Amino acid sequence: MPEDPPYVDPDAAPAPEEPQAPDPTPKTDEVPE
């Protein structure tokens, strides 16, 4: 049986460029009012 083709999310924008950070994006800081 041939394998199914990989699923591609039609909503997806082009793939991110390398390098990708190993850590999550930073949390933002508190702003004054």
Residues in the chain: 33
Query: Which CB, 1 or 21, lies closer to another protein?
Result: 21
For 8, 13, 25, 28, the CA distances from 31, given in Å and listed in that order, are 39, 31, 18, 9
Interface mask toward another protein for 1-33; x: CB under 8 A = ---------xxxxxxxx-xxx--xxxxxxxxxx
Locate 30 and state its tokens: 């508190």
Shortest separation between residue 7's beta carbon and another protein, angstroms: 11
Binding site for another protein (CB under 8 A): 10-17, 19-21, 24-33
